Structure 1
């Protein structure tokens, strides 16, 4: 869920790309990206169920860092120009926050499964809208607050805190969504002074360094078959980011963003078909409410824009 390594849908696109405003192509690329990221979630669930989560994400980030370094090397001015920033501490914090969020999200996959984890995680656009006021000083109108409140009701329907014995593990994907929302807002703040290519570079490099410092202590032997899955996992990360970059090259984010919710459909299908998970009625109802509230919020932002 990592929309996702998992940098998912809020990750900025490199500024040197020229937007072509081909909405149909952008939508298809966004849907393709959600398919790839759902596959990534499924493979992460498998590997993290067999090996330490920190080690799995560390190897993923090695590939991701190579990807962003390769992009920076091809950009005008090379790596030195792309990496230049006067808010290094903030950029490092962004990268570390994202990799920590991915650790939480992947752990949620192993204890709750894909269906419930992703169903709760998709509330992150609502959390972005709610936190944009206190974090960025943006004005949040009553309509957006109403949509946020309705979406959080959907989260409560999924979690069912007042029915039977409440499982505290159900909070994990919500914490992941909160962390990712904060990451997205900090990314917006950093964009006021840094290019999106610079932010993208430090997302991969800072996350890789932080994850290596932690994950190297949890290294364990991996079977040959699982190394194959690890290779596919790394390739899906690179492919997913490439699809997103091409998507945002083709169309404006406001036009394609609603289709990011297809991630929930693919992840739920994988959970049911591959891992034998069950879509409970409250999860289906709650997720539908969250998606409806999120789409309304995106529509309001587009209207205001």
Structure 2
């Protein structure tokens, strides 16, 4: 990988975090006005159309891209991701963007912790130490037993666990399938799954909110497209640390648009969680 490609990859990752932060802000607004399943269903329809279009342009077309020897794994991945998105967007409406993402930041630590028993990967004592320290940071964010807000913190914790399981199955699927095949199954299975639920929650949407819905769909597709291009030009281990910048952009949007507050314990906990996450990424890169 050339230095130029690495710089381009970092720039694309930073752009993707900005796009995804805007997407989450729009999701928070729409989900506070309409049913979460409805919002995610429409978003996934657009996403599915995007992945089908990409697949049809690949060599061999749709049939070649969709071909997999592990349909159950791919199906489980797609369902896990759509469940995770529904859970975290609901969390936005209950906890806000900042606190939801603060807890969600522990997902890489969960991936590291579960990669041993699930994938058979070796996790050394240094990474286990970082994982333990990271979860101390999560406890600082949650402040167990303090205030009435804490039971709601289970929502982003569940979302973090779902995203970690999705990440682990993605790693497992990558042993036999291409990234294009996994991406195709993610969009199509997710769209089918959420439609079976969301269609029962249909409700009329105000004309101006259809504009916001359009922005949600466009940011979702452009964010994923930017991420794909990022991983095409640079190694994941080189650009992944910059994904944490989404916390910065989310915090700015939460404060400026939704008048959320950054509590001192949340800021301190995020620093600990992100530091632990960066260390685990570094150790994984060295081990690789």
Short-chain TM bin: over 0.9
Larger helix share, 1 or 2 = 2
Distance 1:85 1:114 in 2: 36
Query: TM-score w.r.t. structure 2 length?
Result: 0.98
Shift of 1:192: 1.3
- Are positions 1:176 and 2:159 aligned together? yes
2:122 is aligned with 1:139 = yes
Q: Which residue in 2 is equivalent to 1:12?
A: none
Q: Answer yes or no: is 1:210 the counterpart of 2:193.
A: yes
In 1, the alpha carbon distance for the partners of 2:79 and 2:280 equals 28
The alpha carbon displacement at 1:146 in A equals 0.3
Distance 1:179 1:290 in 2: 18
Residue of structure 1 in register with 2:233 after alignment: 250
Q: 1:233 to 1:76 in 2, by over 3 A?
A: same
Aligned to 2:279: 296
1:62 to 34, 41, 45: 45
Q: Residues 120 and 174 of structure 1 are in contact (CA less than 8 Å); yes or no, is this contact kept in structure 2?
A: yes
* Runs of 4+ off more than 6 Å: none
Q: Does 1:238 align with 2:217?
A: no
CA distance in 1, matches of 2:121, 2:196: 36
Does 1:185 find its partner at 2:168?
Answer: yes
Instruction: State how 1:53-132 maps to structure 2 within 5 Å.
Output: 53-132=36-115
Q: Aligned partners of 1:101, 1:295: CA distance in 2, in Å?
A: 23
- Check if 1:272 corresponds to 2:255: yes
Q: Does 1:151 align with 2:134?
A: yes
> Paired residue for 1:3?
none
1:39 to 22, 25, 43: 22
Identify unmatched segments of 5+ residues in structure 2.
none
Quickly say closer, same or farther: Cα 1:195–1:20, change in 2 above 3 A: farther
Alpha-carbon distance between aligned partners in 2 of 1:88 and 1:163, rounded to the nearest angstrom: 45
2:268 maps to: 285
**Superposed displacement of residue 162, structure 1:** 3.3
Measure the CA separation in 1 of the matches of 2:281 and 2:243.
Answer: 11
Deviation, structure 1 residue 191: 1.3
Of the structure 1 ranges 20-29 and 45-54, higher mean CA displacement relative to structure 2 is found in 20-29
Q: Is the 8 A contact 1:115 1:279 kept in 2?
A: yes
Distance in 2 (CA, whole Å) between partners of 1:166 and 1:176 is: 17
> Which digits, 9 at most, give the CA deviation of each residue in 1:152-195, with x for residues without a partner?
00000000003344621011101101110000001111111111
Distance in structure 2 (CA, Å) of the matches to 1:108 and 1:90: 27
Assess if the C-alpha contact under 8 Å between 1:20 and 1:249 holds in 2.
Answer: no
* Residue pair 2:143, 2:150 contacting (<8 A) in 1 also: no
Given that 1:20 and 1:250 are in contact with CA atoms closer than 8 Å, whether structure 2 keeps it comes out as no
Q: How far, CA to CA, are the matches of 1:138 and 1:290 in structure 2?
A: 22
Deviates more, 1:88-97 or 1:103-112: 88-97
SS of equivalent to 1:150: helix
